Amino acid sequence: MAQETNEKAAATPVTMVTLTIDGQSVTVPKGKTVLEAARSVGIDIPTFCHHPKLKSVGSCRICYVEIEKMPKLQVSCATEAMDGMVVSTNSDQVKQGRRAVIEFILLNHPLDCPTCDKGGECDLQNLTFAHGTDDSRNDFQKTRFREDDMSTTFDDKSIGPEIVLNRNRCILCYKCVRSNKDAFGEYDLGVYERGNIAQIDSAPGEQVDNPFSGNLVEICPVGALTNRDWRYKIRVWLTETTPSVDNFQSSGSNITFSKERQKNKIYRVTSRPNDDIDDGWLPDITRYGYQIVNSPDRLKKPLIKKGGTQVEVSWDEALDTIAKRLANIKDSKGSVCIGGLAAPSLDNRSLYGFSKFFRKVLHSNNVDYRSDCRMLPSSSDTICSRLAMQPFSISDLDDSDVIVVFGSDLIREHHNEYLRMRKAFNFNGARLFSITPYAVKAADIAELEVVHRPGKEEFVLQAVCQAAVEDRLVDDQTAGRFREQVGNVDLTELCRSAGISTDSVKQIARALASGKKISFVVGEIVTRSREREPIAAAICNLNKLFGLHDKGQVAILARYANSKGAQKLGVVPVPHKMLVDKMNVLWSETPSCEAHNTDAMLALLKKEEIDSLFVLGANPMMVYPDLQFAREGLERADFLVACDLFETETTQLADVVLPLCSWAEYDGDYVNLEGRNQTARAAIKPIGESRTGFDIMAALAARFEASDLFEVDAIESEISQMLAIADTPALPQEYTQVRASEDKEKDGFDIPLYLCDDPHHSGHLTEKSPSLAEFSGEAYAEISFDLANRLKLRNGESVRVESPVGKIIIPVKISEILNTDVVLLPRNFSSTPTTALMMRKRRVDMVKLSKVDD
Amino acid sequence: MSLEQKELTLNMGPQHPSTHGVLRVIVTLDGERVVKAVPVIGYLHTGIEKTMESKLYYKALPCTDRMDYLAPMSNNLGYCLAVEKLMEIEVPEKVKWARVCLAELTRIKSHLVWLGTHALDLGAMSMLLFTFRDREMIVDVYEACGGQRMMTSYIRIGGLSHELPPDFEKKVRRVIKEIPAKLNDYEDLLTKNEIFINRTRNVAVISAEDAINYGLSGPMLRGSGVKHDLRKANPYSGYENFDFEVPVGKKGDAYDRYLLRLEEIRQSLRIIEQALDGMPEGPYRAHVPGVVLPPKEDVLYKMESLIFHFKIITEGFKSPKGAVYQGIESPKGELGFYISSDGSNKPNRIRVRPPSFVNLASLPKLTEGGLFSDVVCAIGSIDIVLGEVDR
Amino acid sequence: MNEVLKAVGNVFLKMPLGFVVTLRHFFKKPVTLDYPYKKKPMTPRYRGKHYLERYDDSTERCVCCGLCAAACPADAIYMEPEENEKGERRAKIYEINLLRCIFCGFCEEACPEEAIFLGQDYEFSDVNRNAFIYTKEEMLVKHPRKDNPFKRLYRRVRKVHGVTDKIS
């Protein structure tokens, strides 16, 4: 029924209603509430429980308005705007109503303002100040929520690693519970009891530790939910704010830093709602990840390896050494013997400076930003890279009616897109399909979750195509061409080898064929797979067959804060032709020597054909999916320079270590996964003597007498010219034969291993954030309940994970989501080098598990 | 044979005991006669106006104490009346009466200090000891009220900082009882004192017309015979309810101003007595939610009061857009506060019209053609406080 | 001759009269004080050196809410809160710079916990500027001043939940 009305609404043009609010005529689409109508013309109505991204409940009743011909005051957040309504938001009756509501809310509110961290930015304070009186008529004992074993007089209760709950202060607006359920799909917080003792609490025996829990604190209108990050640190009126952009995620959530200038310290991150990107929700990585900026472990001075140990030196000495050694290698062996790896989370200027320094100053083409992918192709114009350049819009997920998530565990990779998908499902009734090699969290609202056999991605896609053709879901001409160019494959055979049922494939095919607006989202499992090209080809076939591109969007999502920027600025060995053309124009020349990507660089380092590697912010030792290979390469490097915020596995091997600024310390532009160029402002001064990536490149260039190439204004204009290049390469127009190879060796290793990010971590830096470490502080092997049962493992017990190349012992975590034999390892913890188990030539790494007997 | 005649330029101050602070006067002399005496100010400039503009309204109050530090309550009163006018706050009757009482005590206190220092300048050492002894009674009243003997900050926006102390009436009655006798003593010592008369009679004369043209106010203006007093001309804080005379001088010389100030003390005592007798019962601060702090007891027990207290302390109150001017009759003349507001919680511009500053401008006129030694008398009879002149 | 006699008469008759005035003061109570040995008792509202009060069970009253620092016109107060072992909010650092302080008493007026008071002590001088940074340890009284006749207007126990246990 609901779907029917939805469809009807979509079909008929939106009807408008006109009403009068405070003498002002307002026209809004039908279905909007009086509150929304009033706010659309700038009339402010106070609210506690209203949240623009959630459904109205009308529980706080502060948003009273007087509507003519209605006998009583109405709550404007739950009253639909009607034609001809005459609304008054400021009459005496309304004022009296508000005053009464505030008095009622404050009945049981404790006198906690002095101890409450919300003080100064509290909605309850503000609205009482604006609409209440300064005297109370009530002088009686207030209800107090208190555990029996509490020794404190503060009645605070810890309900999660970060969140502290004070039920006395709660005004029961239910915003936390509603957002937790409707927006994040988590059920670890609820309302218990009724009436006077109704209270918010964590679900019995559970902790509120979902990856979005920080938002609950931010939207709490009072200080009932506070987080340890901000708790008892500083008063809000002593801080200043700086607008910035998230650096841990590719969508670039808009954030605000609260900082204290004198102490040069950031105190917290809050959202800066941008409906195109984040809807005002921030994942915990973003909210607490900033803590790395003020970490005491930050590198503060350059280090040079002297006699086997790294000693602190001045910047001049470090830069002189680097310049001398690089010049030496360049002169004696040729510039092809120098390579560079940059982190895709650096800003445009740093990345561009990096690329320009290598190409223009050193005349080397060996630059790359992809340090976590195995077996990269040497060419850059591949189907996969074309797919990665396709336009994608986060907000388009909202009104897509079919969303297919292919090869991505969204909650670990793309938090904002994960929330958008839930929003599309909860508010717009979108149909979701998830196709992954292991069960994922995002699938709990999926119409259909397809878990295929690991390493069989292209089979699933082929099967969907085949099913569409067989079931005549596409027109005969298209089907004919498909048959002609791809040939007929047996659907059952395909499904059998992929380990899925034909019914599910047919269901997906039907949805894709009937969908009006389709978002086909491709994730990391594809980009990091060895067989990314055949899979991409299969996706293109699917796209062609269903015309997905015309009905919505198909894209491989960029993974890091500035992956897209790195792509567009050509920080790859062989950039697209249009980028090279532009570089030729801007720099008058580009080097023509051989170009090597990360894989090739590491291999050549091992063969001692490349002598020097310059690593800017990246940490291949932690993320490259073959630790053995990476280590051999880096250890044999004649001269290794590493720039990072912290001491990492890579900087430990380096001959020269340079301290790098974090993104909060300088103005930088970042291109998010939609191609949106956003600016993060400097919140604090650089910590210690750290410098930005661009400053390092410019200082080195000056030592090569090329400082004129690195003038900031010129660089900025070059960057904007590079970014302005329209680079949406066309997807192949013909169907292609998909031929993927599979691993031959089995060697008795039977459980597929997937390396992923912990939902509370991203990359190699967030480990240094104490709050994130509270959520998840050490590596674990996530396995299904069945597998754990078979191995007789309980949660937290140690398990031995063995692969042909390595072995680690790690605590086990029994997942509620996984349902197949697969093991997930996080790659965020330096104490447990999980990449040591991987082999770069494998498509799917296989391991065997055994219980560790004490 | 004739001697060479040459004008002599002499620098007096800024560290000179008889310039009442750090006033510097550049005196051009022709023998003993003053050709020109130009006051140079700014040695005590502390940027009080700008400091006040950077603070919330209620936090700017202690700055006013530090302008005319001999009459802090008058400054408090002027500022508070200006802000109350801006915020359209009506204070309770009792507050008005108490404020009048305190303002008049301040006038007595200020005049006593003036008398002591002025007489000291002219050679009467014991006057200083006597007046400072008697001033102590009033300082004690200050201390009992606000807790501080000089920087009182007692009069607040919307009322007073505390209730009047329990022994307030007793202490003030003592002032009323004892001061008249003391005044007689002073008169015995000075009024018919030949030396004093010689030093002040026909010295530092300014005509009524000049006084008006120079914009003088207070005893400087009334000494020349102009009967202008803001308490009568433009009553504030309930002065219209009091019965008192505005004394005026005849000649406009230093002696007249001396007599006038003594008479003002007597009139002030009359006002104080009326204020004490007629002091109504009532709260000591207005109940204006969001502007005036709720009573401390409520803050400790009532949630609403706590919230209002918290918000006023941290954010202050927002003033309506506009500008106000409020002048009061301070001991030294018309003290005016001009506040322009842009609607925020801090004043956009505060300009103080300090009586000392304006009165000091008449120094060249007062001393012109007089003897050099009379410059001291002229400065003394203007009654300046450099803290107010320079702000 | 007459004038000479008159002058002599003046000396012998009027001078003793003058001395009588002086003599009278011999028997009057002096207005001055024998200062370092005797001190002037200050009025109850006197605003002298600050102290931090405790509850009757001798826990600190101050919760480091920051209102005193917010109210301070001279920005003389610096404070940093922390969580104590019970999970309560307490001041880790509470410093008053007495060289900046103007003793206006706004902190006392702002304090919603009745923790900070300006006491009766008006003697502070030192040879070292750092000694004027008055720390929490120096300010915190050893025992709750139950007998404090001065500022205690309302006594009560900690009021977290707005209990009205007034102790008059």
Q: What is the pLDDT of residues B301-331, one digit of tens each?
A: 788 888 999 999 999 888 999 999 999 999 9
For residue C124, what pLDDT band results from cuts at 50, 70 and 90? confident
Cβ contact A75:A63 at 8 Å: yes
User: Which residues of B are less than 8 Å from C105 in CB distance?
Assistant: 146-148, 153, 161
Q: Which residues contact A822 (CB under 8 A, 6 or more apart)?
A: A437, A438, A454, A751, A752, A753, A754, A783, A784
Quote the pLDDT of residue A679: 93
Q: What is the pLDDT averaged over residues A663-681?
A: 92
For residue B125, what pLDDT band results from cuts at 50, 70 and 90? confident
The distance of C161 to chain A (nearest Cα, Å) reads 4
CB pairs under 8 A between B and C: 76
Question: Could you say which residues from 267 to 326 on chain B have a Cβ atom under 8 Å away from some Cβ of chain C?
Answer: 293, 296-297, 299-303, 306, 309-310, 313-314
Quote the pLDDT of residue C155: 38
Of C63, C67, C163, the CB nearest to A141: C163
Q: Which of A146, A153, A197, A230 to mutate to test the interface with C (most CBs of C within 10 A)?
A: A153
H/E element, A824: strand A823-826
The residue in chain B having the minimum alpha-carbon distance to the alpha carbon of residue A130 is: B290
Q: Does residue B390 lie within any of the structural domains?
A: no
Quote the pLDDT of residue B17: 75
Supply the mean pLDDT for chain A.
88
Q: Which residues contact A680 (CB under 8 A, 6 or more apart)?
A: A243, A244, A245, A247, A347, A663, A664, A667, A668, A669, A670
Of C45, C102, C159, the CB nearest to B147: C45
Quote the pLDDT of residue B109: 93
Q: Does residue B52 lie within any of the structural domains?
A: no
Quote the pLDDT of residue B297: 78
User: Which residues of B are less than 8 Å from A113 in CB distance?
Assistant: 306-307, 310
For residue B32, what pLDDT band results from cuts at 50, 70 and 90? confident
Give the integer Cα–Cα distance in Å for A597 and B348. 61
For residue C32, what pLDDT band results from cuts at 50, 70 and 90? confident
Tokens linked to A702: 């000056």
Handedness of CA A528, A534, A539, A544 (dihedral sign): positive
Q: For residue B329, what are the β-bridge partners?
A: B334
Digit-coded pLDDT (tens) for A223-252: 999 998 998 989 999 999 999 999 999 999
Q: A196 touching C, CB under 8 A?
A: no
Q: Which residues contact B169 (CB under 8 A, 6 or more apart)?
A: B276
Of C80, C113, C162, the CB nearest to A114: C113
| 3-state DSSP assignment of residue A644 | strand
The lowest-confidence range among A191-195, A351-355, A668-672 is A191-195
> Taking CB atoms and an 8 Å limit, are C31 and B133 in contact across chains?
yes
Q: Does residue B386 lie within any of the structural domains?
A: no
Neighbours of C124 (CB within 10 A): 13
Quote the pLDDT of residue C159: 44
Q: B192 touching A, CB under 8 A?
A: no
Q: Which residues contact C1 (CB under 8 A, 6 or more apart)?
A: none
Digit-coded pLDDT (tens) for A547-595: 888 888 998 999 899 999 998 898 888 888 888 888 888 888 888 888 8
Supply the mean pLDDT for chain B.
89
Share of chain A above pLDDT 90, in %: 41
Of C31, C47, C112, the CB nearest to B299: C112
- Cα A37 to the center of its chain, rounded Å: 33
> Taking CB atoms and an 8 Å limit, are B306 and A120 in contact across chains?
no
Q: Which of B48, B64, B148, B161 to mutate to test the interface with C (most CBs of C within 10 A)?
A: B148
The torsion defined by the Cα of A66, A70, A76 and A78, in degrees rounded to 10, comes to 170
pLDDT at C153 over 70: no
Q: Does residue B90 lie within any of the structural domains?
A: yes
Helices and strands (H and E) in chain B: how many: 17, 8
Residue linked to tokens 């559970």: A206
Of A111, A120, A129, the CB nearest to B303: A111
Q: What is the pLDDT averaged over residues A85-94?
A: 91
Q: Does residue B371 lie within any of the structural domains?
A: no
Share of chain C above pLDDT 70, in %: 85
pLDDT at A5 over 60: no
Q: Does residue B391 lie within any of the structural domains?
A: no
> Rg of the Cα trace of chain C?
26
Q: What is the pLDDT averaged over residues A643-662?
A: 92
pLDDT at A11 over 60: no
| 3-state DSSP assignment of residue A145 | coil
Q: Which of C32, C33, C45 to mutate to test the interface with B (most CBs of B within 10 A)?
A: C45
Half-sphere exposure of A329 (CA within 13 A, CB side): 24
Give the integer Cα–Cα distance in Å for B105 and B139. 9
Q: Does residue B333 lie within any of the structural domains?
A: yes
> Minimal CA–CA distance to A262: which of A281, A231, A240, A282?
A240
Neighbours of chain B (3+ CB pairs under 8 A): A, C
pLDDT at A7 over 90: no
H/E element, B36: strand B33-40
Digit-coded pLDDT (tens) for A98-134: 999 999 888 888 888 888 889 889 999 999 999 988 8
> Taking CB atoms and an 8 Å limit, are C65 and A114 in contact across chains?
yes
Give the integer Cα–Cα distance in Å for A850 and A534. 34
- Alpha helices (H) in A204-347, listed in sequence order: 214-219, 284-289, 315-333
Digit-coded pLDDT (tens) for A187-227: 889 999 888 888 999 988 888 989 999 999 999 999 999 99
pLDDT at A761 over 50: yes
Q: B163 touching C, CB under 8 A?
A: no
Q: A156 touching C, CB under 8 A?
A: yes
> Minimal CA–CA distance to C135: which of C105, C91, C167?
C91
> Between residues C162 and B183, which one has the greater pLDDT?
B183
Q: Identify the DSSP state of A852.
A: P
Cβ contact B181:B105 at 8 Å: no
Q: How many structural domains are present in chain B?
A: 1
For residue A737, what pLDDT band results from cuts at 50, 70 and 90? confident
Quote the pLDDT of residue C146: 57
B322-345 burial by CB neighbour count: b if 16+ within 10 A, else e?
A: eebebbbbbbbbbbbbbbbbeeee
Q: Which residues contact A836 (CB under 8 A, 6 or more apart)?
A: A627, A628, A805, A806, A808
Cis before C30 (ω within 30): no
Q: C96 touching B, CB under 8 A?
A: no
Digit-coded pLDDT (tens) for A783-826: 999 999 999 999 989 999 998 888 999 999 999 899 899 999 99
CATH classification of the domain holding B181:
1.10.645.10
User: Which residues of C are less than 8 Å from A231 in CB distance?
Assistant: 83
> Taking CB atoms and an 8 Å limit, are A111 and C161 in contact across chains?
yes
> Minimal CA–CA distance to A388: which of A529, A521, A538, A519?
A521
The distance of A232 to chain C (nearest Cα, Å) reads 5
Quote the pLDDT of residue A141: 75
pLDDT at C65 over 50: yes
Domain of B196 in residue numbering reads as: 58-351
The residue in chain C having the minimum alpha-carbon distance to the alpha carbon of residue A146 is: C161
Q: For residue A202, what are the β-bridge partners?
A: A189
Q: B297 touching A, CB under 8 A?
A: no
Give the integer Cα–Cα distance in Å for A466 and A546. 12
pLDDT at C149 over 80: no
Residue linked to tokens 């803290």: B387
Digit-coded pLDDT (tens) for B100-109: 999 999 999 9
Of C45, C46, C67, the CB nearest to B162: C45
Q: Does residue B30 lie within any of the structural domains?
A: no
Quote the pLDDT of residue C152: 42
pLDDT at A303 over 60: yes
> Taking CB atoms and an 8 Å limit, are C45 and B165 in contact across chains?
yes
User: Which residues of A are less than 8 Å from B310 in CB distance?
Assistant: 113-114, 119-120, 125
> Minimal CA–CA distance to C63: which of A260, B305, A117?
A117
Quote the pLDDT of residue A708: 87
For residue A689, what pLDDT band results from cuts at 50, 70 and 90? very high
Q: Which residues contact C15 (CB under 8 A, 6 or more apart)?
A: none
Q: B147 touching C, CB under 8 A?
A: yes
Quote the pLDDT of residue A314: 94
> Between residues A182 and A745, which one has the greater pLDDT?
A182
Q: What is the pLDDT averaged over residues B126-151?
A: 89
Of B303, B305, B314, the CB nearest to A237: B314
